[in-house]
Amino acid sequence: MLELVEKLYSTGDLSDGELAALIETDDKEATELLKEYADKTRQKSYGKKVFLRGLIEVSSYCKNNCLYCGIRRGNTEADRYRLSREDILKCCENGYELGFRTFVMQGGEDAFFTDEFLCPLISEIKAKYPDCAVTLSLGERSYESYKRLKEAGADRYLLRHEAAAQELYSKLHPEEMSLQNRKDCLFALRELGYQVGAGFMVGAPCQTTEHIIADLRFLQELQPQMIGIGPFVPHHKTPFADEKGGTLELTLRLLGILRLMFPKVLLPATTALGTIAPNGRELGLQTGCNVVMPNLSPVMVRKKYDLYDNKICTGEEAAECRGCLERRIESAGYEIAQERGDCIK
Ligand code: 5AD
Ligand code: FES
């Protein structure tokens, strides 16, 4: 197993069979070596820097019905909200003072967020904070829409592909959703000049090692600037309420593998990882991650952006995440970089 880690470290790739063996291993030494090489690789690319992304959860309305997600339209008990232009600008103001230089507007697929609403807002944020990046994470939209949002000033777009294998994608999504469309969106975003983020959940119901390998191969084809992965965490008001969640061990192993396969990618230690283990994000940072995404949403709505159970960072104090993360990042041996944090070439 150690040879596989050595090979992945020196060549950046493995065969499907070798990847499967590494994904499934419980060899402690190999796991330790993977962590060491992942950290070495991230330090070669980014030193000890950790980039912050202020996450603004703009809407909990969603027209989709993904089986895993707490804000799926079928969850009639979900508390719905959407932020106004003023709310969003206030979050940016607050975030800028806290030192964030990237604002991520993330939400369900909410028809209220038209191009007519978003374009002037994006331009306004870019004009007010020219040293900041604006990232959108608003799901599948038309090519034309992505184009207009880019022209209005959006820099980046996060759209997890969720599952690159058709078989798994179909088990996680209702029939009306299309994996091909999702992939087309990602390639369109890339073509339009966005810095693109894709990704998937670890330990989703029915996910096999082969499915994960399909995800890794898709990521190799797409070559995104960012890769977001986190454990699947069941939500009690979804069809997957009684399913098992993804594990810390497998998520960390995949983070390490991703870092070695994509030495320069931006890799967040996700909120979901911090949800399944108190020190999950710190361990993520020590296994190749170089981004954290503190919650910048107004305190009033935080509990309503309820993707999965027991989500952390829904506390009462708006600035809490910033201070909390600073301590966590430093305790893990890294330092916050007060900059946009673009992907290095
Ligand atoms: N557990 C973990 N992650 C989830 N997401 C949605 N629902 C869950 C869940 N139950 C992730 C999806 C989505 C991102 C915003 O949150 O991968 O792309
Ligand atoms: Fe949000 Fe710690 S990072 S409360």
pLDDT class of 322 with cuts at 50, 70, 90: confident
Q: Can you say whether residue 172 is alpha, beta or left, with left for phi > 0 and alpha for psi between -120 and 50 degrees?
A: alpha
Average pLDDT of span 148-155 = 98
Q: Is the dihedral angle over the CA atoms 118, 123, 125, 130 positive or is it negative? A: positive
Beta carbons of 271 and 57 less than 8 angstroms apart: no
Q: What is the pLDDT of residues 247-265, one digit of tens each?
A: 999 999 999 999 999 999 9
Using the atom order of ligand 2, give the atom closest to the CA of residue 281. 3
Instruction: State residue 339's pLDDT score.
Output: 95
- Report the share of the chain in percent with pLDDT over 70: 99
Which tokens is 83 given?
């932020």
Ligand 2 centroid to Cα of residue 271, in Å, is: 9
279 lines ligand 2 (CB under 6 A): no
Q: Which ligand is nearest to the CA of 282?
A: 2
Ligand 1, CB within 6 Å, residue ranges: 68-69, 160, 162, 201, 230, 232-233, 235, 272, 307-308
Beta carbons of 266 and 277 less than 8 angstroms apart: no
Ligand 2 centroid to Cα of residue 33, in Å, is: 29
Q: Which ligand is nearest to the CA of 326?
A: 2
Beta carbons of 40 and 287 less than 8 angstroms apart: no
Write the residue with the smallest CA distance to atom 8 of ligand 1.
69
Q: What is the DSSP string of 138-166?
A: -----HHHHHHHHHTT--EEE---B-SSH
Write the residue with the smallest CA distance to atom 16 of ligand 1.
307
Using the atom order of ligand 1, give the atom closest to the CA of residue 245. 1
Ligand 2 mutation pick, 314, 321, 331, max ligand atoms within 8 A of CB: 321
- Separation of alpha carbons 109 and 122, rounded Å: 17
Residue 204 CB partners (closer than 8 Å, separation 6+): 68, 163, 168, 172, 232, 246
- Separation of alpha carbons 255 and 136, rounded Å: 23
Say if residue 65's pLDDT is above 80.
yes
Say if residue 318's pLDDT is above 70.
no
Mean pLDDT, all residues of the chain:
96
271 lines ligand 2 (CB under 6 A): no
Q: Which of 145, 126, 259, 254 is nearest to 192 (CA)?
A: 145
Beta bridge partners, 162, equal 200
Beta carbons of 50 and 288 less than 8 angstroms apart: no
Ligand 2 centroid to Cα of residue 293, in Å, is: 9
Q: What is the pLDDT of residues 157-211, one digit of tens each?
A: 999 999 999 999 999 999 999 999 999 999 999 999 999 999 999 999 999 999 9
Q: What is the pLDDT of residues 264-287, one digit of tens each?
A: 999 999 999 999 999 999 999 999
Q: What is the pLDDT of residues 97-138, one digit of tens each?
A: 999 999 999 999 999 999 999 999 999 999 999 999 999 999
Instruction: State residue 320's pLDDT score.
Output: 76
294 lines ligand 2 (CB under 6 A): yes
Using the atom order of ligand 1, give the atom closest to the CA of residue 272. 2
Q: How far is CA 159 from CA 65, 165, 227, 237, 316, in A?
A: 16, 16, 10, 23, 28
